Amino acid sequence: MWYFSDEHRMIQETVRQFSREKLAPKIEKLDAEEGFNRESFYKMGELGLLGILVPEKEGGAGLDAVAATLAMEEMGAVDASTTLSYLAHTILCVNQIAKNANADQKKKYLPKLLSGEWIGGMGMTEPGSGSDALGMKTKAVKQGDFYILNGTKTFITNGPVGDVFYNYAKTGETKKDITTLIIDKSMVGFSAGKKLSKMGMRASPTGELVFSNCKVPLSQRVGQEGESVKMLMQNLDIERITISGISLGIARSSIHFATQYAKERKQFNRPIGSFQQIQEKLTEASAWYEACRTLTYTAAKMWDLGVIKDREASMMAAKAKLQSAQMATQVALDAIQILGGYGYTREFPVERYMRDAKLMEIGAGTNEVLRLIIARHMLGNEVMDSV
């Protein structure tokens, strides 16, 4: 990409090497056993990746959304699961604390989150509210110097292994009465609930967060009571831009693997790559990947330059994620087809790429919800008010 700086290329190379050395050797076993590459987080901490967007004066790397997306693409090409856990830690928890928390909260949480000693996550989704995120029911009621928190979050990336959660709760009766509370494992009344077994992203632990009369000191509140909706939305935008990097990584590996295979596998005494139907799959995949790559990094660059804000930022982020996610699933499916029976077995990684890619069409906003965001921008509230 023409605007990748030397610093961007350095990050790309660093993450490529890290992924080759620390992620590649472990992912197959972790995927099979639904494990977690805990050690990789200490190494990411050493490399400065855990605070990739955090300003240098706060202990981070002070890089931009383009760099973060590049990191996601490089890691995602090798191990999309650990990359998803990295995203939840870095973009959804660490970056939100760095952007929105006060000095005391940053002092309490950032150092150990940046070093990898603590694992972070973000709690928004609940059993009854997924796409309708503002319909959450988890309630925080003020009592003296504490909030008493009750409710359950679900589908939380790093839930089963996390130490710190950037968590949203209702503090009033309207949809917009949402407040952020930083929760940590030490709080009485908080527990990690059920771990969920999944089709893909199996080495990224997902589970519930359960709050049962959990006593949360008022000092854990981020910003003002009932004023978190804007922060929540901005968090979703940067999440959608950077998570698109994971889709790009999965697609790139799928294309690479399928291309190599098409050169080597012979049927009817010819490499299968000589058949036009195989060429069509490979060339469409390659062109769609490049188109999504351009869209995604353009969205990241626009975000960095500040030329997109509010609804326009949401629309660009939605477009990048919608297209990259659909592309990754289709490209991974086509890679399986190119490998034939071997593609369907666990002897080759392409079936894992497909299982992982499918999540990209669901997490951080489903395809359908992203289309609604784009439609609202195109058609206006008058037409879209009913949804």
Which residues of this chain interact with ligand FAD, rule CB under 6 A? 88, 121-125, 130-131, 155-157, 198, 201, 206, 359, 362-366, 368-369, 372, 387
Which residues are CB-contacts of 108 (< 8 A; sequence separation ≥ 6)? none
Q: How far is residue 270's CA from residue 382's CA, in Å, rounded to a whole number? A: 59
DSSP letter for 37, please: -
Q: How far is the CB of 82 from ligand FAD (least distance, A)?
A: 13
Nearest approach in angstroms of CB 300 to ligand FAD is 20
How far apart (Å, rounded) are the C-alpha atoms in residues 247 and 37? 20
| Residue 184 identity | D
Of 11 and 124, the one with the shorter C-beta distance to ligand FAD is: 124
Compare residues 75 and 338 and give the one whose CB is closer to ligand FAD.
75
Provide the 8-state DSSP code for 172.
Answer: S
How many whole angstroms separate alpha carbon 301 and alpha carbon 296?
A: 9
DSSP structure class, residue 273: G
85 or 171, CB closer to ligand FAD? 85
Q: Is 150 left (phi over 0), alpha (psi -120 to 50) or beta?
A: beta
Neighbouring CB atoms inside 10 A of 233's CB total: 15
Q: Token match 């080597």: residue? A: 264
Neighbours of 131 (CB within 10 A): 12
Residue nearest to ligand FAD (CB): 130
Minimum distance between the CB of residue 194 and ligand FAD, rounded to whole angstroms? 14
Q: Which is nearer to ligand FAD, 89 or 293 (CB)?
A: 89
Rounded to the nearest whole angstrom, what is the least distance from the CB of residue 319 to ligand FAD in the complex?
16
> Would you please indicate which residues are annotated as catalytic (active-site) residues?
239
CB of 266 to ligand FAD, least distance (A): 39
Residue positions counted in the chain: 387
**Which residue's structure tokens are 């990690």?**
192
- Closest distance between ligand FAD and the C-beta of residue 311, in Å? 17
The residue (of 92 and 278) whose beta carbon lies closer to ligand FAD is: 92
- Indicate the residue among 37 and 157 with the shorter CB distance to ligand FAD: 157
Question: Considering the complex, what minimum distance in angstroms separates the CB of residue 363 from ligand FAD?
Answer: 4
Residue 214: which of 141, 160, 289, 290 has the closest Cα?
A: 141
Between 58 and 239, whose beta carbon lies closer to ligand FAD? 239
What is the identity of the amino acid at 221? R
Q: If you write DSSP's letter for every residue of 304-338 in order, what string do you get?
A: HHT---HHHHHHHHHHHHHHHHHHHHHHHHHHHHH
Q: Residue 103 or residue 387: which is nearer to ligand FAD going by CB?
A: 387
Closest CA to 336 of 318, 348, 324, 323: 348
Report yes or no: 22 and 40 within 8 Å, Cβ to Cβ: yes
Tell me the closest approach of the beta carbon of residue 93 to ligand FAD, in angstroms: 9
Question: Which residues, 6+ apart, have CB-to-CB distance to 320 below 8 Å?
Answer: 240, 241, 244, 292, 295, 296, 298, 299, 300
Burial bucket for residue 258 (CB in 10 Å: 0-12, 13-18, 19+): buried
DSSP type of residue 5? -
